[in-house]
Amino acid sequence: MFASLSDRLSATFKSLRGKGRLSEADIETTVSQIRRALLDADVAVPAVRAFTSAVRERASSAEVSQALNPAQQIVKIVNEQLIEILGGESREVRFAKHPPTVIMLAGLQGAGKTTLAGKLGKWLKEEGHTPLLVASDLQRPNAVTQLQVVGGQAGVPVWAPEPGNGVGNPIEVARTGVAHAREKYYDVVVVDTAGRLGVDAELMQQAADIRDAVNPDEILFVVDAMIGQDAVTTAQAFADGVGFTGVVLSKLDGDARGGAALSIRTVTGKPVLFASTGEKLTDFERFHPDRMASRILDMGDVLTLIEQAEKAFDEDQAQEMANKIAGDGDFTLQDFLGYMQQMKQLGSMKKMLGMLPGMGQMREQLENFDEREVVRVEAMVQSMTPGERQNPKIINGSRRSRIAKGSGSTVSEINGLLDRFEQAKTMMRSMARGGMKGGMPGAMG
Ligand code: GDP
């Protein structure tokens, strides 16, 4: 996501490098480059306007003229304005003082509500809650079954309509679901509701009736980020028809430009709480404006990376990895393989790599990254002796052909692996030194 915007901003910053001072003309050029980059990213005009005028004003102020390196100051300003436009502080879910907390999902059909209900259920459970999912989407064929499936995957119970508790009546299902939660001490209820393909009055009325029946603590408007600026129009319709307290951006994995993410806060005034980044239950994250801004500026989203890694590695492993990355131990081919295997467990390797700082230039390679590669690397490393894994420098020509034979690969594939291993080692070292300590590697080159 945000690939083109990242590239455009980074080109803008590059053109400022080496300038000792920014003239009025430099600032104007910079601002107009940023404006065009945002418009091309499908950001809504009011959001673009707010963004560029803030950048212009701050760039012209004493803040910059005093600075040693104006280009860095511009990066800082753009970073801060991106955080601002994405919503500033991360917003927590507001849990009710007296459980159950009721979270209602609203949005168009296909927006990703049912999938999100499963993801939310899983997340809530991991956070120590006892959630209940309620199937109030009786419009879309299969929506109830689909919720039961994702609930099953998440290990979260589902309240579905049965004779006696509201067959055919989504409002009744929602009401009895919440009553059931109260009785059985579920502390959070997630109510899935129906959406039509377009905004219509009947849909709005039904959502409003469910809202009135269950009095939600949060109404989350789920919107498909792939529809770009149209997300904003839909959001306005839901704001008028039902009202909502927060937004969930779904299919962010498919939103190459980022228009929805960058517009929705300015236009609706409501915070984004979560992002959905794929079809699997694990493709889900809390939305942190600061981390998202770092990703856009290609500073890498080290915090999210670390959080995700913590889920896959146990603490000792995590510590060991941190030490190795920092150069406090030898990072061997065996480790390289181990990390690749563990990363693979996390889901998409691409996504993980994309979060590393300075990966902007490697984006093309990432797009072509093949997860089966892990299997090939596995075969190659397993054909090496322990000594070779420990110290790849000893792998000479005859060892290379032996390993190639043993793993069913070619010598040039072995060469490729060894090159990539060296690159990864260097990259991890420099990341540990600069990137993780809050520097701005990628953006400034
Ligand atoms: P609903 O009608 O709002 O309940 O939408 P669904 O949850 O049924 O989702 C519609 C389609 O989008 C399904 O095929 C989902 O698998 C898919 N989907 C949902 N969330 C995401 C996401 O974050 N990324 C991608 N790529 N697909 C998603």
**In the numeric block, which tokens belong to residue 117?**
């209900």
At 149-175, the pLDDT tens digits run: 999 999 999 999 876 555 779 999 999
The boundaries of the domain holding residue 402 are 302-444
The answer on 252 and 346 residing in a single domain is no
Query: Are residues 106 and 42 located together in one domain of the fold?
Result: no
- Domain end position, chosen among 52, 85, 118: 85
Comparing CA positions, the residue from 307, 103, 265, 257 lying closest to residue 190 is 103
Length of the chain as a residue count: 445
Nearest to 356 by CA among 302, 303, 313: 302
CB 117 within 8 A of CB 150: yes
CATH number at residue 342: 1.10.260.30
**96 in a domain, yes or no?**
no
Residue type present at position 109: Q
Strand order in the sheet with 218-224: 158-159, 131-136, 188-193, 101-106, 218-224, 246-250, 272-276, 284-286
Whole-model pTM? 0.72
Which pLDDT score, from 0 to 100, does residue 435 have? 42
Which residue's CA is the closest to the ligand 1 atom numbered 23?
251
Averaged pLDDT in 10-residue chunks for the chain of 445 residues: 85 82 89 95 93 93 61 83 94 95 96 97 96 93 93 96 72 95 97 85 91 97 90 91 96 85 92 95 94 80 57 60 60 76 58 57 56 81 90 92 93 90 74 43 31
Q: For residue 442, what are the contacts with CB-CB under 8 A and spacing of at least 6?
A: 10, 297, 298, 299, 300, 357, 358, 359, 360, 361
Tell me which of 221, 279, 280 to substitute to probe ligand 1's pocket, judged by most ligand atoms within 8 Å of the beta carbon: 279
* Residues 256 and 336 grouped into a single domain: no
Tokens 């050029």 label which residue? 29
| Domain-terminating residue out of 242, 261, 296 | 296
Quick one: 290 and 322 in the same domain? no
Do 190 and 287 lie in a common domain? yes
Q: How far apart are CA 217 and CA 402, in angstroms?
A: 64
- Classify the complex by whether its ipTM is higher than 0.90, answering yes or no: yes
- Whether 113 has a binding-site annotation, put simply, is yes
In a domain, 67, yes or no: yes
Please indicate, yes or no, whether residues 25 and 116 belong to a single structural domain of this protein: no
d(CA 439, CA 442): 9
The reply to whether 209 sits in an annotated binding site is: no
Asked whether residue 192 is marked as a ligand-binding residue, the answer is yes
Instruction: Assess if residue 354 is contained within a domain.
Output: yes
Q: What was the pLDDT predicted at 367?
A: 57
Residue 92 lies in a domain: no
Ligand 1 centroid to 115 CA: how many Å? 6
On whether both 291 and 318 belong to a single domain, the answer is: no
Residue pLDDT, tens place only, 31-49 = 999 999 999 999 999 999 9
How many structural domains is the chain composed of? 3
Do 292 and 308 reside in the same domain of the chain?
no
pLDDT of 402-445, one tens digit each? 999 999 999 999 999 898 888 777 766 665 554 433 333 333 32
Q: Is residue 406 part of a domain?
A: yes
Is 159 found in the same domain as 10?
A: no
Q: Are residues 80 and 110 in the same domain?
A: no
Ligand 1 contacts CB of residue 118 (under 6 A) = no
257 C-alpha to ligand 1 centroid (Å)? 19
The verdict on residue 93 lying in a domain is no
Residues 290 and 408 in one domain: no
Q: Which of 280, 296, 312 is at the close of a domain?
A: 296
Q: How many Å apart are CA 140 and CA 110, to the nearest integer?
A: 10
